[in-house]
Amino acid sequence: MPYTPIVATLGYVLSADGKQVLMIHRNARPNDIHLGKYNGLGGKLEPDEDVLACMRREIGEEAGIECQALSLRGTISWPGFGKHGEDWLAFVFVVSAWTGTPLAENPEGTLEWVDLDRLLELPLWEGDQHFLPLVFDGDPRSFHAVMPYKDGRMVSWNVSRA
């Protein structure tokens, strides 16, 4: 059977000095699969857009800012991750330059600047502990990961770099 995941973007907006990242604390919707966790920004790809356009749109919608400089850090395949076991494939970006004033909140939760060196201390998805260091490690090579989930838990982790 062919792999037909939901295609999405996931972005991490850096502060001007590069020491903090804008995260969303998913605390607004009681039925949210991410409730209580901190996430990067992003969402589903629309049929008429490429992944870069999707990332720009999602950052605009969720944070109220306009991306000026983005870099693709990698991809992550999450078989079985969705609320009903759906498969997801995300293109992961770092946003290093932007304009505007970030929103304080949106319908999904509160936006917060978090020190990069404290990022892994937040309540995150278990799997985020594995890939977030790759997003910010400075290695110019992109990473490509597979992280299957079952019943809301990470089952395994495999990553390579190109």
Contact between 159 and 145 under an 8 Å Cβ cutoff? The reply is: yes
CA angle centred on 92, ends 87 and 93, rounded to 5°: 155
Cα(154)–Cα(142) distance, integer angstroms: 22
pTM of the predicted structure, to 2 decimals: 0.95
* Residues 58-112: tens digit of each pLDDT: 999 999 999 999 999 999 999 998 888 899 999 999 999 999 999 999 999 999 9
Domain membership of residue 26 (yes or no) is: yes
Q: Is residue 16 part of a domain?
A: yes
Q: How many domains does the chain have?
A: 1
Per-residue tokens: 85: 């076991």
Q: In this structure, what CATH number is given to the domain that contains residue 118?
A: 3.90.79.10
Domain hosting residue 85, numbered range: 6-161
pLDDT, tens digit, 9 for 90 and up, residues 102-161: 999 999 999 999 999 999 999 998 899 999 999 999 999 999 999 999 988 899 999 999
